[in-house]
Amino acid sequence: MTRARDLAAFVSNADGDIKFDTDTLFIDSSTNRVGLGTNAPSVQLDIESTAPTIRLTDSDASGTPESEVSGAGGDITIKADRDNEKASSLIGFEVDGTERMRIDSSGKVGLGTASPTANLHVSSGTSGDAVVLIEADTDNNDEDDTPILRLSQDGGATITDIGIEGTAGTLFTNSLANATYINTTGSTPIQFATNDTARMTITNTGDLGVATTTAVANTNSEQGLWYQADDYLAISRDGNPFYSNLVGGNTSGTFMQGRRDGVTGCNLGVRDGAAIEEFWIGNGGNIGLRSEQSGADRIEPCRGSNGNAIDNTISLGSTGVRFDDIYATNGTIQTSDRNLKQDIASLTSAEITASTAISKLFKTYKWKDKVAAKGDDARTHTGVIAQQVQSAMSDAGLDASKYAFFCSDTWWEKDVEVAAVEANEEEGREAADAYTRTDQYYTQEEAPEGSTERTRMGVRYPELLAFIGAATEQRLTNIESENTAIKSRLDALEA
């Protein structure tokens, strides 16, 4: 039953509205709107106060947890407090009977998940796509509005933006119009990683590293690809870099270099100057070849580390690794300048004796390897046997090794078994079968234990034929002199 003092607290007007006489509570009968602190409610529940608050208290909970919705000065605050029996509290938002968003006690926000594991966790559940959309300029009027995801650290000392460039370059002003970009401030690099390992690095100066975060250049300790901005490009595997200088303008130097165990194995370079435009290739030491100089069509020997010309030093092929045939329109030109020679003399009698013996040693023969490959089709050659030439010189009391027409070279060989290689698509490696490789060594000191010693003899036919020709000419001259002397004596007897 309503008490009299309670009835005195409110009045009812002619329209059926009910209000307390202090205007703290008003119920509008025509709209069913309720006003708290106002007698003119504009919505179903209209609360008017300097700090309006709705408080929900769980009377069954230990510790009397309270949830509040409050607002002041245009702000709104939602608060949830746990009781003593709960470990945490949360704020949830439901739509159509399903929770769509949750804020847990640690401040993590979950969209589509009741168990957020990050500050913002967006989930599509057991199916469907999860999309986060950051949209700018929906009317497509080209105002250079830019969608950006900004990451800030250390109070803004380090900032990274991921965005789309506007046509006029409103934020990141060094990209193509409407291009997607990642931009960092200061000296901060950009890295791409997989399996918690950096796979690509872009430094603040524009250097690029792939599979390495440290420059690969003249060292043998790093692996991967490294582009040093405006300087060089290096690719290294097992610590052996393939190195390319970025030579520009009129600068001379190496533009490509291969290394193994920190030692240069091959150089490619250019040399520019007033009268020189050259391309050269070399091994980093005294071995190299360079292209035309001053418009002449020729290939010249050079010093492999810088492309400078080197005269009378480099051999073509070696005793253990030979060329087969050399095709040329003209024969080789051999220097024969008198100013470069000394000890010029006619053949001695011993040399004439040896030459005469050698001239009788010319035979026909076939190469064994050609017979093995071609059988009866192997062709017949004409020449001498180097060992017989050596013996003929020795029989005349001469050392064949002192003469340029005779050659005897010794080297050492070692067979090395190379294991099969499995394909590795991630490393860009193709499969390869096992094989045996034969390595050559040209000094006994560098040859490994178990190497086989090889010796091969040869002759320089131009030198040998000149030796035989000189002896033949001197023999003919001697014969003519003897005939002249005999004729003189006969003439004297007849007289």
With the CA atoms of 272, 276, 280 and 282 taken in that order, what torsion angle do they form, in degrees rounded to the nearest 10?
-90
Q: What angle do CA 11, 16, 18 make, to 5 degrees?
A: 40
Whether residue 28 lies inside any domain: the answer is no
| Torsion angle, alpha carbons of 262, 266, 272, 277, to 10 | 180
Report which residue type is found at 487.
K
The answer as to whether 375 is a domain residue is yes
Q: Are 412 and 422 in contact (CB under 8 A)?
A: no
The CATH number for 458's domain is: 1.10.10.10
Confidence (pLDDT) at 312 = 83
Q: What is the pTM of this model?
A: 0.56
Look at residue 462 and tell me if it is in a domain: yes
pLDDT at position 325 is 87
Q: How far apart are CA 51 and CA 151, in angstroms?
A: 36
Domain count across the chain? 1
User: Whose CA is closest to 217, among 202, 198, 191, 239?
Assistant: 239
**Would 300 be classed as within a structural domain?**
no
Surface-to-core class of residue 307, CB atoms within 10 Å of its CB (0-12 exposed, 13-18 middle, 19+ buried): buried
In this predicted structure, what is the pLDDT of residue 167?
Answer: 66
Positions of the chain with pLDDT under 50: 1-8, 273-276
- Can you tell me the distance from the alpha carbon of 432 to that of 237, in angstroms, rounded to the nearest whole number? 17
Q: Which residues contact 489 (CB under 8 A, 6 or more apart)?
A: none
Sign of CA dihedral 444, 448, 453, 454: negative
What pLDDT digit, counting tens, does each position of 290-324 carry? 776 555 677 888 876 677 778 888 888 888 888 88
Task: Look at residue 78 and tell me if it is in a domain.
Answer: no
* Per-residue pLDDT tens digits for 239-252: 666 767 655 555 55
Count Cα neighbours of 100 within 13 Å in the Cβ-side half-sphere. 5
| pLDDT score of 8 | 46
Give the pLDDT confidence score for residue 378 in this predicted structure: 95
Distance, in Å, from the CA atom of 229 to the CA atom of 490, rounded to the nearest integer, reads 95
Domain range for 370: 345-411+454-484
The letter for the amino acid at 309 is A
**Residue 354 forms part of a structural domain:** yes
Is-contact 441 407, C-beta < 8 A?
no
Residue 223 β-bridge partners:
none
Query: Within a domain: residue 161?
Result: no
Regarding beta strands 263-272 and 277-282, do their DSSP bridges make them parallel or antiparallel, or are they unpaired?
antiparallel
Quick one: how far is CA 471 from the chain centroid?
Answer: 63
